[in-house]
Amino acid sequence: MLHPKIADIAATRYILKAFNLRASKRLGQNFLIDSNVVEKIVEAAEISAGDEVLEIGPGIGTLTQGLLEAGAKVTAVELDKKLPAVLEKTLAGYENFKLIQGDILKVDVEKIMPPNFKVVANLPYYITTQILLTLLEKKLPVTKIVTMVQKEVAERMTAAPNSKIYGAMTVAVQFRADVKVAFEVSPESFLPRPEVTSSVVVCDVRESPVKVFDEEFFIKVVRASFGQRRKTLLNSLVGAGFLRENILAALEVAKISGNLRAENLSIADFANLSNALLKSI
Ligand code: SAM
């Protein structure tokens, strides 16, 4: 069966009109209309026939179609109640597509996906970080996450220590994955056009190279350290409620100066600090 390409401005306008739909700002709907971008995302995700893919927010099925054409088995979670009827038509004839209508933050992903799945998504910008951190922190059996995010979020995800954009989100993501920016996408590739440039980011999920005794506590310490960026590490941790004497003991064990700021610490430093702090409290 030959399927017309959805990733096209005329096709997208036609579909929206036929279903009497308008892109919802509230749901972060910016539909891809550039088939070249769809192909590049599928390539970045290294899709082989039979790959199990979770797509978050399939919209009218643009990226989904690229994934299905590459042979992926796609399970998609879409919040917008109006879109199942659209997807039924736009993706009619594709066998390996399953749709779950719901909120990705509420769906039990482990129940709907087999082990070793990939996530591929053009994420709604209003909850990008929340979705990514939820996927990574839940330690799901996901191998690769390829997502479109705002360029500024991509920069934070890939930041190195000692820079202003290196933050708690950077550490949380890089703790669980090797992250790189695959390519940038201009606003013209979407309908409607977003106000910002986007980037496609590839996260190769792996075991952390640094040993952490308690991951929840590690994340708590990272968040507390970055809580007040302009304060020293010692003062930030005191401000977050840790006891000064416990912090000082932990800093000594971890061989970290309390006068540093959170942005000066590597992921290994945070691991050593949280391990030492856990022992001292
Ligand atoms: N994948 C399509 C594309 O590339 O053209 C649409 C991408 S659009 C940026 C984001 C999609 O995520 C929209 O279809 C929106 O309805 C959906 N969405 C928003 N919030 C969601 C949530 N919490 N759970 C699942 N889908 C959501």
Tell me the average pLDDT of the chain: 96
Whether the CB of 77 sits within 6 Å of ligand 1: yes
Report CA-CA distances (Å) from 213 to 154, 210, 265: 28, 10, 18
SS (H, E, C) 23-71: CCCCCCCCEECCHHHHHHHHHHCCCCCCCEEEEECCCCCHHHHHHHHCC
What is the pLDDT at residue 229? 84
pLDDT tens sequence across 49-64: 999 999 999 999 999 9
Residue 1 — very low, low, confident or very high, per pLDDT cuts 50/70/90?
A: low
**What is the Å distance from ligand 1's center to 125 Cα?**
9
Indicate whether 197 pLDDT > 70.
Answer: yes
Tell me the average pLDDT across 37-50: 98
Q: What are phi and psi of 38, to 5 degrees?
A: -60, -45
Residue nearest to ligand 1 atom 21, measured at CA: 79
Cα-to-chain-centroid distance, residue 26: 19
What is the pLDDT at residue 3? 83
Percent of the chain predicted with pLDDT > 90: 95
Alpha-carbon span 195 to 58, nearest angstrom: 21
Residue nearest to ligand 1 atom 19, measured at CA: 27
Q: Answer left, alpha or beta for residue 93, where phi above 0 means left and psi between -120 and 50 means alpha.
A: left
Indicate whether 4 pLDDT > 70.
Answer: yes
**What is the Å distance from ligand 1's center to 29 Cα?**
6
What is the pLDDT at residue 176? 96
Using an 8 Å Cβ cutoff, are 102 and 79 in contact?
A: yes
Indicate whether 2 pLDDT > 80.
Answer: no
Indicate whether 23 pLDDT > 90.
Answer: yes
What would the two tokens of residue 229 be? 């960026």
For ligand 1, pick from 9, 24, 27 the residue to mutate: most ligand atoms within 8 Å of CB.
27
Whether the CB of 200 sits within 6 Å of ligand 1: no
Residue nearest to ligand 1 atom 6, measured at CA: 59
